[in-house]
Structure 1
């Protein structure tokens, strides 16, 4: 993981417009929208994905979710670290972040936030977790209908329709170190991350 001052990601929505163009886009144009995303810690590119009957994951939260959104959710953007799962036929691409608090005079990691984009659908994620005897509840975030479920005592996940098939937002906390409960903030965290997605 390498660190840099500011990393600006230029994302293109709707029509083609080059980030490196000498001519800036018209500020009021409806046909061209550019997303400028500040990321203070850069990570390696996502790993290659084997060919399959599924579309590859294209949205990379490591570069597409800003420091501001991570800080607003209560995590340290400087702890941004890549965490991917790539298998034959499916992939989860994304990054993890730490929540840092002062504990008995030390700055410690007391919780985590993991954001991944996947080419598996919300329904597939639902069926998998119901098959593992987890309680899966319906949820909705700004019109995106998804699911929330608990993995163990202190880890919760919300899966929403995303830029690829689904976006997974996982939070956890360590009760032995903090009174702050990640699962109690699951909905709020999902709302913050969803607001940072391209529209």
Structure 2
């Protein structure tokens, strides 16, 4: 479901909540309506892993994307949902950078554990800290113009996979592949639910 469709469903639900089939009786309506604070994830796998409670496609406001340098209008679904785990995700293109570099980035929220991510990426990962959360900066020089970052969450990990492009001839310098990705993760991190 696109962000626009989700907003449309929410607006319809709010409008219907205000309608009533009861006759007017002069009585005041109840002052409190029951509310639900938990949203059912767009996908729930067949494992006993935690549900993915942060959905990049629904929980990252356009304003945050713009601050981080990404174009909300470029959003595309990037979910990966096998039976044994879940990654809910969206991809974004950067707003053009004056220095001539631009990016394509996936933001993937998954219920694999941080320990699993550490083991899987151990040959190319450097432990870092993102706003007090454990994280991994993942750089493999054999994967050209590419960098990853994974942040620990209460349900698993929030991952960033980013490709860098240039608008001029010649390769992108290796030193630029991960530049700014930690800042992007710091911008998004406050949106992640803190968990129990």
TM over 0.5: yes
Whether the aligned pair in 1 keeps the contact of 2:101 and 2:166 (CA below 8 Å) is no
* Structure 2 segments unaligned to the other structure (5+ residues): 19-30
Q: Which among 145, 153, 160 is matched to residue 154 of structure 1?
A: 145
Match of 2:118 in 1: 126
1:185 CA drift (Å): 0.5
1:3 CA drift (Å): 7.2
Q: What secondary structure sits across from 2:44 in the alignment?
A: coil
Q: Which among 100, 110, 114 is matched to residue 102 of structure 2?
A: 110
Whether the aligned pair in 2 keeps the contact of 1:119 and 1:165 (CA below 8 Å) is yes
Q: Which has the higher strand share?
A: 1
Q: CA 1:146/1:4 → structure 2, altered by over 3 Å: closer, same or farther? A: closer
1:122 CA drift (Å): 1.6
> What is the TM-score with the length of structure 2 in the denominator?
0.68
1:77 CA drift (Å): 0.8
The more displaced of 184-193 and 85-94 is 85-94
Distance in 2 (alpha carbons) for counterparts of 1:52 and 1:115: 22
Q: CA 1:176/1:123 → structure 2, altered by over 3 Å: closer, same or farther? A: farther
1:2 CA drift (Å): 5.4
Superposition CA RMSD, Å: 3.8
Q: Which among 116, 124, 140 is matched to residue 129 of structure 2?
A: 140
Q: Is 1:193 aligned to 2:182, yes or no?
A: no
Match of 2:23 in 1: none
* Structure 1 segments unaligned to the other structure (5+ residues): 11-18, 25-33, 35-44
Number of positions where the alignment pairs a residue of Structure 1 with one of Structure 2:
167
